[in-house]
Chain A
Amino acid sequence: MSGSIQVHAELVQVEPRARQRIVCLRLFAPQVARAARPGQFVMLAPGPDGQLDPFLNRPFSIHRVPDADTLELLVAVVGRGTEGLAALPPGVRLRLLGPIGRGFDPPARGPLLLLGGGLGVAPLFFLAESLAGRPVRLLYGAATAEALVSTAGLPCRVELATDDGSAGRRGLATELLAEALSALPVAERALAYLAACGPEPMLARAAALCREAGVRAELSLEAHMACGTGACMGCARPIGGRPQRVCSEGPVFDAREVYP
């Protein structure tokens, strides 16, 4: 009952996006691109039809929709599937299912904070671009400068943190968040909003900080999943007191549901 469709998307380009092995896959997929909303994701086949190994499609959040026909996915080259994907030549057609899931739901007004950890920054680009003209701050943390994806051209203020201090603040992105929240005038906190995506410890800390500050927060979760349609139950976990599927009920959840 999802609004997803399955298409064969043409791989237009694979280009590096960080000094470390992070690449951007640009895919021609008009029907999916037009329907996509920030925070949604796609399931992408790891190779052409008929290739049985690697077997499963990969979930990728939608990184950007640069034009009405095109999707960009941010891929860390970390295993068999992603190595294969990054090595594919342009012109290859890959099965793609999307857009999938519940995306971000930012308020119509008020200050907007985006918190990205590592590759979790991927969907926040799409979100930031959809919020152009609004007061948006992206707080972005990574292990090192080498692992940072370029934020040049994003229509928002960007603050960086790295574990080793090689770019931006030395420390965690959640430290930037703590400061940003305490700098918010108390009157604005009820209107403010945080969208976060990244490692679970970061999400847990962000949820706690927002709860203390009285700021609404939405978290985009990751999970191992097989189908992306809600059928396999592979991604289901207890959220809000009942099993919920990250692919169908999420991937974006209210922080108070995830960390009650």
Chain B
Amino acid sequence: MSPAPLRPDMRVQIGRLALKNPVMVASGTFGWANEYAGLVRLDALGAVVTKGVSLEPRAGNPQPRIAETAAGLLNSIGLQNPGLEAFISQKLPFLHGLDTAVVVNILGDTPEEYARLAAALDGQAGVDALEVNISCPNVRAGGIAFGSDPGAAAEVAAAVRAATRLPVLVKLSPNVTDLVAIASRVAATGVDGLVLINTLRGMAIDVWTGRPRLGNAIGGLSGPAIKPIAVRAVFEVSRAVAVPVVGCGGITGWADAAEHMRAGAVAVQVGSATFRNPAAPVEVEEGLERFLGELGLRSCRELVGTVEV
């Protein structure tokens, strides 16, 4: 499968996970992919990353769960999902039929729960990799509780790594004092890649009613507003750790993806942009390919980490 002449090779390798191109969708912004069937050429994506799956179903948080902010939005969905069993029986068959990699995002309240999820998904047809969510700002236990402590983060990563043969990505939170310290500890567990960043904790208040604009008061900020923070995180972490970094945060167009890659990301995830334009991830991939061609690069890998400081 050699690339056509003059077209850059878009294939990327994230540890043991091989993707046909570096543009994935971000967990929680693309549902179970079937919501976008007919709207988006799903096979054009580098990977689909599912909404977070827990062992048991979760009902999620009270309304409102969405509040628009300047160049972005706050959300507090609360990890609503049908649980592992229903995911496997109801959601996975559709994903399995796609000609793209499927990364299942998993979340739990204890390292053991993460390990059970990882073990249960190992060997399930259609699952190509796991993304470990230790960074959700919208739930108390699990989620960010693990992601904000280097020891706890590494414990979850190691538990997942030991429980499955699947490639493992770990999605980290920017809501920490020392991201590099956490990233280094997690990378040392032998995972295949790190995903940076999840949403930033934020809040918005309706000044007329005096009430928070989210039912859960505090939520996670995403969208173009957070891109500089994400690019900085990718830059710092990719220089400090040996494992591949996947950039996520504020990507709405190909230039944002290129910026993440120049900062050090081997691949990217498009998240909130899909809410306003379902075709955004595919358009990012197409634009990125054109851009690489214009630069005369033979492979998208040649762009990674090329920022000159």
Contact B274 A227 (CB under 8 A): yes
Within 8 A of B (CB), among A1-40: 1-6
A237 proximal to B (CB < 8 A): yes
Contact B66 A234 (CB under 8 A): yes
On chain A, the residues within 8 Å of B295 by CB distance are none
Contact with A along B32-71 (1 / 0, CB 8 A): 0011111100000000000100000001101111111011
On chain B, the residues within 8 Å of A215 by CB distance are none
Contact with B along A50-79 (1 / 0, CB 8 A): 101111110000000000000000000000
For A, the interface residue count at a CB cutoff of 8 angstroms equals 35
Contact B64 A223 (CB under 8 A): yes
Residue picked from B28, B64, B66, B272, most chain A C-beta under 10 Å = B66
CA–CA, A57 to B276, complex, Å?
A: 5
Query: How far in angstroms is the closest Cβ of chain B from A201?
Result: 15
Contact A231 B36 (CB under 8 A): yes
Contact A224 B278 (CB under 8 A): no
Q: How many A-B residue pairs have CB under 8 A?
A: 114
CA–CA, A243 to B80, complex, Å?
A: 9
For B, the interface residue count at a CB cutoff of 8 angstroms equals 38
Contact A243 B68 (CB under 8 A): no
Contact B59 A55 (CB under 8 A): no
Contact B252 A52 (CB under 8 A): yes
On chain A, the residues within 8 Å of B30 by CB distance are 231
A45 proximal to B (CB < 8 A): yes
* Contact with A55, one of B29, B64, B223, B253 (Cβ below 8 angstroms): B223
Decide if the interface of chain A is mainly helix, strand, loop or mixed.
loop
Contact A56 B77 (CB under 8 A): no
B73 proximal to A (CB < 8 A): yes
On chain A, the residues within 8 Å of B287 by CB distance are none
**Given known contacts A52-B71, A55-B73, A232-B28, A1 and B277 CB-to-CB distance under 8 angstroms:** no
A interface residues with partner B (beta carbon < 8 Å): 1-6, 45, 49-50, 52-57, 81, 95, 97, 223-227, 229-238, 243, 248
Contact B80 A226 (CB under 8 A): no
Contact B71 A53 (CB under 8 A): yes
B interface residues with partner A (beta carbon < 8 Å): 28-31, 34-39, 51, 59-60, 62-68, 70-73, 75, 77, 80, 223-224, 252-253, 272, 274-279
CA–CA, A236 to B62, complex, Å?
A: 9
9 interchain residue pairs of minimum CB distance = A231-B31, A234-B66, A53-B71, A226-B275, A231-B35, A224-B66, A230-B35, A224-B64, A227-B275
On chain B, the residues within 8 Å of A234 by CB distance are 64-66, 75, 77
CA–CA, A238 to B80, complex, Å?
A: 12
Contact A233 B275 (CB under 8 A): no
* Contact with A57, one of B63, B252, B275 (Cβ below 8 angstroms): B275
**Given known contacts A1-B34, A224-B67, A243-B80, A56 and B275 CB-to-CB distance under 8 angstroms:** yes
